[in-house]
Amino acid sequence: MERLQKIIARAGLASRREAERWIEEGRITVNGTVISKLGSQADPFKDSIKVDGKRIKSAAAPLYYAFHKPPGVITTLNDPQHRPDITPYISRLGEKRRVFPVGRLDYNTTGLLLLTNDGDLALRLSHPRFGVTKVYRVKLSSCPTQEDFARLREGIRLEDGMSAPARARVVEKLKTNAWVEIEVHEGRKREVRRMFEALGYFVEKLVRIRVGTIELGHLPLGELRPLTQSEIKSLQVAVGLAKERPGAARQRAFAAPKKRGGHHGRRAI
């Protein structure tokens, strides 16, 4: 017996959090009975489990993708307001490769979005307790000061509490504005935008360029690519689902830093 949200997530239909919402909305039935209580369990091999009247299939092999989310797209598979969502992009993978987004990017935010049918990994990557690093490139209305960066390192007071300390730096100073890179470890709604707005800046463009060790790189806008085995392992290690092989951390510590030129995924900006 397993919790329903775990069964649904492993089937690649939704993240665990999304599956919990479906349960509360009464969209799940087990052997013909509507289940609306969180924590309810079922046997995925014996019970008839349906979502919106459609029986879910057995869990597929785990899938992991990087997606370059375009602007003007909602990070969901079914938007009740019928706004453009990521479904058309995921459908290119075919019916047998069903994945869901890990976390969210705002409507107008572009950049790296991870997709998977691995509910355990998705839950941990999204949970602030595991502190998975997310790195963004931000185009601001003017160039921040060192005092602003110091405030970011201390945390910014937002309407839902203090933000966790964040590191930021200017990567390109333009005539009237600037590109800034910021590293955060939380996943609050619109957090990066709200942090800079609290400092008095307008966010003109926002691009996520890295999650953990997974980089956007030159992945074209609107395209997907499968993660490599080493990338998958690095995410699993970051959230405690796998152990790092002996000596790997030491090798990274002595590895020469990569030279970076320009903006990751500049074409998306």
Q: What is the pLDDT of residues 43-65, one digit of tens each?
A: 887 889 999 998 887 666 789 99
- CATH no., domain 64-128+218-226: 3.30.70.580
CATH 3.10.290.10 domain extents, the chain: 2-55
Q: What is the mean pLDDT of the chain?
A: 86
Task: Give the pLDDT band of residue 256 (cuts 50, 70, 90).
Answer: very low
Q: Which residues contact 100 (CB under 8 A, 6 or more apart)?
A: 9, 12, 13, 14, 15, 18, 77, 115, 116, 117, 122
Query: In angstroms, rounded to a whole number, what is the distance separating the alpha carbons of residues 187 and 198?
Result: 17
pTM of the model: 0.74
Q: What is the pLDDT of residues 172-217, one digit of tens each?
A: 999 889 999 999 988 788 999 999 999 999 999 999 999 999 999 9
Determine what percent of the chain is predicted with pLDDT higher than 70. Answer: 89
Catalytic residues: 106
Name the nearest CA neighbour of 6 among 32, 56, 41, 57: 41
Per the structure block, which two tokens stand in for 119? 């509910």
Q: Which residues contact 250 (CB under 8 A, 6 or more apart)?
A: none
Query: In angstroms, rounded to a whole number, what is the distance separating the alpha carbons of residues 226 and 203?
Result: 31
Architecture of domain 2-55: Roll (3.10)
Give residue 29's Cα distance to chain centre. Answer: 29
CATH 3.30.70.580 domain extents, the chain: 64-128+218-226
Q: Report the sign of the C-alpha dihedral through residues 225, 229, 230, 232, in that order.
A: positive
Crossing angle of helices 119-126 and 229-238, rounded to 10°: 60
| CATH 3.30.70.1560 assigned to 133-211 | yes
Q: Which pLDDT value is given to residue 13? A: 78
